[in-house]
Every structure is written in C-alpha cells, then in structure tokens.
C-alpha cells in the first residue's frame, strides 16, 4: 500500500503513520534500526528504495528516504508512506524536499526516526565529501557511501581516508568480501612461504579493486602494484606465485604452484545483498580503515600500469 501526501507537513505524516499503525497495516515493535537513504536530484531514488526493501527482509527497519529535488522551486514537502507489499519487511517514508527545505533534511527526518534503535545513513548516489560531518550523516552511527559513483576514484578514496570517522563504510568494500575471503584462505594453506610483493589488476575506475589492493598492502606489509586490466590478483611468494583470477561463468580460479587449480563459483551480487551485508555490523569497521590507509601506499607505476 502506498499513501500519497502531496504538499504536506511532518505533523500530517506522523498522524498518517499512527493511523496506518492503528489499523494494523504496520508495526514498529519488530524494527531493529532506522535506515536513512539520501538521494539528490537526478539520482536513482526508486532503485535505492527497492534495494532497501530487499535488505529489510534480513534487517527489519524503518526506511526514511530523503529525496532532494529542485532547489529553485518554492519550499515544499511531498511524502509517501509505503507499507505491506510495497515496503518489504519495513515501513518506508519517502520525503521529497524542494526549494530551501532540500538543504535541511536532517530537521525533517528526526520526527520519523524510531526511538532507541541504531541509525544507519546510506547515500546510494554521490555522497558528501565528509559523511561524518554531514547533518544527516551525524544522525547515523554508521554511514555508507558508494565510491563507484565518483568521477575520480583515487581522489575519492583519498578523501574518504582524510575524512574517515569510526562508522564509515562503503558499498565498494562489500563488493570484495568474497575475494578477500578466498585470498585469506589460500594464503593460509601451505606452503607457508614469505610473501614478497603483490599485484592487483582490474578496471581503472573500480574502487573495489583499489580497496582490495590497499587491503593487501596493509595486511601483508609488502609492495602492491595496482594495474589496469582484467581482474587478477598475483601474490609473489618464495615458493611461487599465488594467482586469483576470474574464469568463465564468473568462476574464481585459484592457482598455486604444485597444486591443481581450485575453482569457486561466485555469482554476481545485487545491491540489496551488499546493503544487507553492511547492515549486519553496526560497529566501526577497522579493516575498511586499514584498506583505505593501504590505498595511499599502493604503487601506481606511471599512475596506472596498463596490462
């Protein structure tokens, strides 16, 4: 069910929420967090709501969407309340802000936040330069950005490091969870020889590949080169290189000298899966911070080594 509330107020929205709750259409007792979704004019609001709805099936929550519109229009608040089949396992409050009101979203969302629950802020589009200092970001104990939306990925990751605060994370970091697990598992198997260097190849504009290279640099403490090419990770060891690459049908292929190649199926992950993973932990992600620090130390021969 979708209830439209054009040219409305926060008081009218709150009353409508109570009316829906009293009629049995929605219950807040099972909600475990408040998810604030922030989009700007021209960004895919509906896609973000769909991903949040799917993620809410694992993490029941109240989703509050702050959709900033044209700032040249008179100040106006249009709202939607979505429950039932249109809201996954959540309640969705969509707030379309126009004019001067678009720059004061933090004041508009506060009346709808669930009391005594964690708050997560997510920017599915281009996030603020400093998420922890952003007025809506300050409401969250966890702040999720997506560096893939940046036009200059290396500069974006440097900015994320410079402004990092406990609770910051990025969807790009979740994209490589499976790859990190495979590499950690492979390196934990014999032969346990010293690692001397590593190289990570991937698309030039992929922050996930940069973060993977930064993570290896931080945890292994060896020089890591970031190259441009098809996805491939080579870890040089005294006993011979360990190679992780992608084969046909998105299979991960792990090659270790003297052993048959290992193959693991890694299907593509939807945005809703990545968001659900981010919502599983609400404490600071120290390893993500290490990866950001590692990005600053990776080697870019001629800034990008072309494979």
Q: Which residues of 140-166 are buried (b: 16+ CB within 10 A; e: fewer)?
A: bebbbbbbebbeebbebbebbbeebee
Cα angle value 73/38/117 (rounded, 5°): 130
Q: Among 20, 1, 4, which Cα is nearest to 79's?
A: 4
CA–CA separation, 16 and 3 (whole Å): 9
Q: How far is CA 147 from CA 46, 104, 254, in A?
A: 20, 24, 28
- Range 244-266 average pLDDT: 87
pTM of the entire structure? 0.91
Cα angle value 170/32/136 (rounded, 5°): 50
What confidence category does residue 27 fall into, taking pLDDT thresholds of 50, 70 and 90? Answer: low
Token representation of residue 137: 């970001």
Residue 91: the pLDDT is 86
Q: pLDDT tens-digit profile of 146-192?
A: 999 998 999 999 999 999 999 999 999 999 999 999 999 999 887 78
Residue 284: the pLDDT is 93
Q: Which residues on adjacent β-strands are paired with residue 169? A: 144
């Amino acid at each position: 069910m979708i209830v439209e509330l054009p040219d409305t107020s926060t008081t009218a929205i709150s009353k409508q929420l109570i009316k829906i709750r009293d009629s049995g259409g929605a219950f807040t007792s099972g909600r475990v967090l408040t998810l604030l979704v922030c989009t700007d004019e021209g960004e895919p609001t509906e896609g973000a709501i769909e991903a949040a709805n799917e993620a809410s099936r694992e993490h029941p929550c109240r989703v509050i969407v702050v959709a900033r519109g044209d700032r040249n229009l008179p100040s106006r608040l249009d709202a939607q309340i979505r429950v039932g089949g249109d809201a996954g396992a959540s309640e969705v409050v969509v707030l379309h802000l126009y004019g001067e009101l678009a720059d004061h979203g933090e004041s508009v969302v506060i009346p709808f936040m669930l009391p005594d629950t964690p708050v997560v802020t997510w920017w599915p589009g281009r996030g603020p330069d400093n998420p922890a200092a952003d007025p809506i970001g300050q409401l969250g104990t966890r702040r999720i950005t997506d560096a893939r939306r940046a036009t200059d990925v290396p500069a974006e990751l440097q900015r994320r490091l410079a402004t990092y605060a406990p609770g910051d994370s990025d969807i790009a970091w979740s994209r490589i969870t499976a790859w990190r697990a495979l590499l950690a598992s492979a390196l934990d198997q014999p032969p346990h020889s010293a690692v001397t260097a590593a190289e990570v190849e991937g698309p030039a504009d992929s922050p996930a590949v940069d973060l993977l290279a930064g993570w290896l640099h931080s945890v292994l403490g060896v020089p890591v080169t970031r190259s441009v090419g098809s996805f491939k990770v080579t870890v040089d060891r005294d006993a011979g290189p360990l190679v992780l690459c992608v084969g046909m049908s998105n299979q991960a292929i792990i090659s270790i000298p003297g052993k048959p190649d290992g193959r693991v199926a890694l299907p593509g992950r939807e945005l809703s899966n990545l968001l659900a993973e981010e919502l599983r932990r609400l404490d600071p992600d120290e390893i993500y911070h290490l990866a950001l620090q590692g990005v600053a130390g990776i080697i870019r021969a001629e800034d990008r080594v072309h494979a």
